[in-house]
């Protein structure tokens, strides 16, 4: 990557352009591998775009005032923004944190002795502390508050007391921030291995309650006899199990690579599901006459909270649907297990209903179970449930289409006659759809089968 930066600086030499931000911070942290570079320019940005496009043979992507270039073969990003300030010194005074507050003129690269440092940034980087550039940094852009936790998690930085006080004072301003930006920063946090610890810090500093308001109520919900902690602590524990234990649990599975690919693709939504899976208990907590605490249908009641949060953070429809499914279905594997009702029919119904979400639900169920039943007294129970879940995962990858062999209520000839269609591959497709409806109990007799194919295929 050093050669890319060297070539880039050579091409832009003579322009009033500076390297800023993470590239320089990482240099002083001793991080050699860097997959992006941020440039701020006081020259016409259009001129820089033309130079880079021509020499690197890539097309710029304009996102508002920001121009991005992506060198696909090198997996390297170049970000350019034209400054709104009179000079680099004024620009630096208005950035987010001192650790991101260095600049190096393109002409001087790679002479790091020419670094511009107006806020003792190198000293703060060495101390690994996160300090706002000034007392207007967070009110000016409250989303920077979330960035603090990303920096802490990514680089093992420390949040000093003065910064915590600034966070507490300005956290309510997050309520007026754009959902897309909140989502982007939250995703960056949850992609880290220590997302649970970062969310917990956000809770202690009064940030998580602004981002996810029901969190305040979760801390006051007592659990039943399986749980020794309140709902919020259990939610954090489930996320912790996901982050710290799941890798080891799946390592011996013959489907490790498949599971790992799935986790990488759906990591953020799964982590949110781990944290929010029991949020419906807020509205379903009841104490029976015998003193037992129940949460009947809490997984169903959770949907309204998930929808509200998804809309607030501008999740895509796919993300919202997946998160709702993970949470609404997370109790299903346990119900089947406790009722000893793990028939081929019920397996097929579970997989057919949830399709690719089935794997996420099974993993969430396992993490929830482990977070609930901890300690030596539960050793055998835990082992049995793990075996049950991994047997279902094996079925998911090997037997989903053959879990049950049910004859179609209608023959191919009957389907042709009812729909008045000639022999074709479509007959087989219709029969398969019919069998699936029979398996999940939607169609129970020949009369219902006829009505189904007429309504769906005629």
- My answer on whether 397 and 331 are in the same domain is yes
- My answer on whether 342 and 388 are in the same domain is yes
Q: Is residue 217 part of a domain?
A: no
How far apart CA 238 and CA 240 sit, in angstroms, is 5
Please state the φ and ψ torsions of residue 338, each to the nearest 5 degrees: -70, -30
Structural domain boundaries enclosing 241:
224-402
pLDDT digits (tens, 9 = 90+) for 143-202: 999 999 999 999 999 999 999 999 999 999 999 999 999 999 999 999 999 999 999 999
Q: Is residue 303 part of a domain?
A: yes
- My answer on whether 246 and 361 are in the same domain is yes
Q: Is residue 23 part of a domain?
A: yes
- My answer on whether 397 and 424 are in the same domain is no
- My answer on whether 257 and 343 are in the same domain is yes
Q: Is residue 216 part of a domain?
A: no
- My answer on whether 114 and 152 are in the same domain is no
pLDDT digits (tens, 9 = 90+) for 413-435: 999 989 989 999 999 999 888 88
Task: Say yes or no to pLDDT of 376 above 70.
Answer: no
- My answer on whether 231 and 352 are in the same domain is yes
pTM: 0.87
Task: Say yes or no to pLDDT of 227 above 60.
Answer: no
Whether omega for the bond prior to residue 110 falls within 30 degrees of 0, making it cis, is: yes
Contacts 24+ apart (CB under 8 A), 391-396: 392/333, 392/347, 392/362, 393/253, 393/255, 393/259, 393/359, 393/362, 394/254, 394/255, 395/347, 395/351, 396/351, 396/358, 396/359, 396/362
Percent of the chain whose pLDDT exceeds 90: 79
Final residue in a domain of this structure, among 63, 94, 125:
125
The strand order across the sheet containing 36-41 reads 61-63, 66-71, 76-82, 36-41, 17-20, 102-105, 116-117
Final residue in a domain of this structure, among 125, 151, 173:
125
The residue among 186, 178, 230 whose CA lies nearest residue 208 is: 186
Percent of the chain whose pLDDT exceeds 70: 97
Q: Is residue 233 part of a domain?
A: yes
* Residue 198 to residues 189, 257, 326, Cα–Cα distance (Å): 7, 27, 22
Q: Is residue 219 part of a domain?
A: no
Q: Is residue 407 part of a domain?
A: no
- My answer on whether 69 and 48 are in the same domain is yes
- My answer on whether 103 and 159 are in the same domain is no
For residue 411, give the DSSP letter.
-
- My answer on whether 103 and 143 are in the same domain is no
């Amino acid at each position: 990557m050093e050669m890319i930066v060297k070539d880039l600086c050579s091409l832009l030499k003579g322009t009033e352009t500076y390297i800023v931000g993470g590239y320089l911070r990482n240099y002083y942290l001793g991080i050699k591998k860097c997959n992006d570079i941020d440039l701020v320019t006081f020259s016409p940005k259009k001129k820089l775009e033309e130079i880079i496009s021509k020499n690197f043979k890539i097309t710029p992507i304009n996102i508002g005032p920001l121009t991005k270039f992506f060198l696909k073969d090198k997996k390297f990003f170049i970000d350019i923004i034209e400054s709104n300030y009179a000079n680099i010194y004024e620009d630096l005074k208005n950035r987010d944190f001192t650790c991101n507050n260095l600049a190096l003129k393109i002409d001087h690269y790679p002479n790091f002795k020419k670094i511009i440092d107006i806020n003792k940034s190198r000293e703060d980087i060495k101390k690994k502390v996160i300090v706002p550039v000034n007392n207007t940094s967070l009110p000016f852009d409250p989303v920077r508050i979330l960035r603090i936790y990303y920096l802490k998690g990514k680089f093992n930085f420390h949040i000093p007391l003065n910064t915590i006080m600034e966070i507490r004072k300005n956290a309510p301003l997050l309520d007026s921030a754009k959902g897309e930006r909140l989502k982007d920063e939250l995703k960056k946090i949850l992609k880290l291995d220590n997302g649970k610890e970062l969310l917990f810090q956000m809770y202690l500093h009064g940030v998580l309650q602004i981002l996810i308001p029901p969190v305040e109520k979760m801390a006051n919900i007592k659990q039943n006899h399986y749980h020794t902690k309140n709902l919020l602590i259990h939610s954090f524990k489930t996320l912790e199990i996901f982050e710290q234990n799941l890798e080891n649990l799946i390592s011996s599975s013959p489907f490790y690579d498949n599971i790992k690919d799935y986790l990488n693709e759906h990591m953020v939504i799964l982590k949110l599901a781990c944290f929010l899976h029991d949020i419906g208990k807020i509205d379903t907590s009841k104490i029976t006459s015998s003193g037992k605490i129940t949460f009947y249908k809490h997984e169903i009641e959770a949907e309204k909270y998930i929808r509200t949060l998804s809309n607030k953070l501008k999740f895509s429809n796919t993300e919202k649907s997946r998160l709702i499914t993970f949470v609404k279905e997370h109790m299903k594997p346990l119900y089947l297990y406790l009722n000893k009702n793990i028939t081929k029919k019920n397996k097929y119904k579970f997989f057919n209903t949830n399709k690719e979400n089935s794997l996420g639900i099974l993993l969430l169920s396992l993490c929830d179970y482990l977070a609930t039943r901890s300690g030596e007294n539960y050793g055998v129970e835990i082992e049995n449930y793990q075996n049950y879940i991994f047997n279902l995962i094996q079925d998911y990858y090997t037997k989903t289409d053959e879990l049950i062999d049910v004859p179609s209520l209608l023959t191919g000839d009957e389907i042709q006659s009812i729909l008045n269609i000639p022999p074709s591959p479509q007959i087989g497709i219709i029969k398969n759809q019919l069998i699936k409806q029979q398996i999940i109990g939607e169609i129970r007799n020949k009369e219902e089968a006829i009505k189904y194919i007429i309504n769906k295929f005629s």
